[in-house]
Chain A
Amino acid sequence: MKVMEGAEAIADAVRAAGPKVVSAYPITPQTHIVEALSQAVADGRLDAEFITVESEHSAASVVLGAAATGVRTFTATSSQGLLYMAEVVLNIAGMRLPVVMTVANRALSSPLSIWNDHQDSMTLRDSGWIQLFAQTAQEAHDLHLVAYRIAEDPRVLLPVMVCVDGFVLTHAFEPVEPVSDEAVSRYLPPLSLPFVLDPARPATFGAYADPTVYTEARFAIEAAQRRSAQVLSQALGEFAALTGREYSPDFDRYRLDDADVVMVAMGTAAQTAQVAVDEMRDEGVAAGLVAIRRFRPFPAAELVAALGNASRIVVFDRSVSLGSGGIVAGELRSALYGRLLPQIVGVVAGLGGRDVSVETLTQAFRAERDGWIDLRPDLEEIAP
């Protein structure tokens, strides 16, 4: 057991996974992760090419090309950096390259903010990447190893984005039990891709697809996304056998069995939400919590199975589709429609680093209708 900064815990897992190419552009609050990896390369603890670049677009392009040659790769980014990568992010998924990327979740401009919310990775939720959200430094460490395992599985071959709350997780120090290098090497077999870029056997990646095959190529990504849920479940099962740490492959269930009012949350706020659930219970409300770990593929069927007893669901969104509402709330409504009929309330809060306290979450539990909570009263431009 070591006391580690979240970023350090992530970098240690990535180092143990042994990527051959790491490329990233520094951006807060992700920087400590690749800083630590760059140091590991310089110290000879990681045998990799650390390729410095002039932008995130190039960082993503470097790992795309490197992954196509059949080696393990890593990059990390945040916020505007992720948006700048966006074009390449979709190409990586389309070319079915098993890149693993940390997104240290941070708000989007404008206005400029370096602080945490989920708007950045949410803008790329439709990109074909698997998206996992971690709640603690330990989980962030562990999920990066699992991410390589599922990304590289021949049944999946999709990139994985491990989403961690900027600062709240990346810069906080927690006790972490790192997986030993020996255990990691047992858990992660050498990477073997069905097709690789090789000058001796030229191939075209990302070739033009005319209307006779484009739909099939996109459907293949959708099918791989669906298959990845089962692969993740197996990978987490083997991880538990290796380390003793168990993670549910879809979402955590806290006091859920007899819960009448259920909160749905993601990331570090889910830890705070457990305290809020306890407080609601003390007040006599049968409260429970669903903490989503696997946002893509979205665990729709699992949520239907788990939420059957709830009459009221409050979805706590740390991102928003402007002009529509909380994104997780919208996805949950879509998943439950025609299957379950609870009242669903979408609550948006915690944007741009606004602290999510136990009080914020108990306030969310009591919200009557969709909307933003915890707003300053002097905001002029707001309609009821």
Chain B
Amino acid sequence: MRPLTPGLVVEAGSSVDNHTGAWRTERPRFLSVACNGCDLCAVYCPEGVVFKAAPKRYDFDPDFCKGCGICVEECPVDDIVMEAEIR
């Protein structure tokens, strides 16, 4: 365990180590069935953690996805679903 400094001053870039994905109670599942590669899920993701893995397939970074479900809401072909997060 790192010793705590006065005021919790830490090295710059601490958000990289701070995995906010731990807050998630639901996670998206990208079905990749009807996907047309429109990019809306990636564009609307408020954390910028949805990315294009293939021309018609998307994936997300589980370390930082907070499970907000906006990608599901925005997908025009209903190709993303939210599932309970099981740890």
Interface residues of A (CB under 8 A from B): 94-97, 157, 194-195, 202-210, 213, 216-217, 220, 224
CB contacts between A and B, total, < 8 Å: 51
Give the distance to chain B from A198, nearest Cβ to Cβ, in Å: 10
Closest 5 CB pairs between A and B?
A202-B12, A96-B7, A195-B9, A96-B6, A95-B7
Residue in A closest to B8 when the chains form the complex, CB atoms: A217
Say yes or no: A195 contacts B15, CB within 8 Å: no
Say yes or no: B14 contacts A204, CB within 8 Å: yes
Inter-chain contacts of B7 with A (CB < 8 A): 94-97, 157, 195, 205-206, 217
Tell me the interface secondary structure of chain A in the complex. loop
- Tell me the residues in window 57-83 of chain B with beta carbons closer than 8 Å to chain A beta carbons: none
User: In the bound complex, what is the Cα–Cα distance between A223 and B20 (angstroms)?
Assistant: 29
User: In the bound complex, what is the Cα–Cα distance between A220 and B4 (angstroms)?
Assistant: 9
Q: Report if B53 contacts A (CB, 8 A).
A: no
Q: A208-B18, A210-B18 are in contact. Are A203 and B4 (CB under 8 A)?
A: no
Residue in A closest to B20 when the chains form the complex, CB atoms: A208
Say yes or no: B9 contacts A202, CB within 8 Å: no
Residue in B closest to A94 when the chains form the complex, CB atoms: B7
Inter-chain contacts of A205 with B (CB < 8 A): 7, 9
Say yes or no: A209 contacts B8, CB within 8 Å: yes
Inter-chain contacts of B8 with A (CB < 8 A): 206-207, 209, 213, 217
Residue in B closest to A217 when the chains form the complex, CB atoms: B8
Q: A95-B7, A194-B6 are in contact. Are A204 and B13 (CB under 8 A)?
A: yes
User: In the bound complex, what is the Cα–Cα distance between A245 and B40 (angstroms)?
Assistant: 71
Partner of B6, one of A195, A204, A209: A195
User: In the bound complex, what is the Cα–Cα distance between A77 and B65 (angstroms)?
Assistant: 42
Say yes or no: B6 contacts A220, CB within 8 Å: yes
Inter-chain contacts of B6 with A (CB < 8 A): 96, 157, 194-195, 220, 224
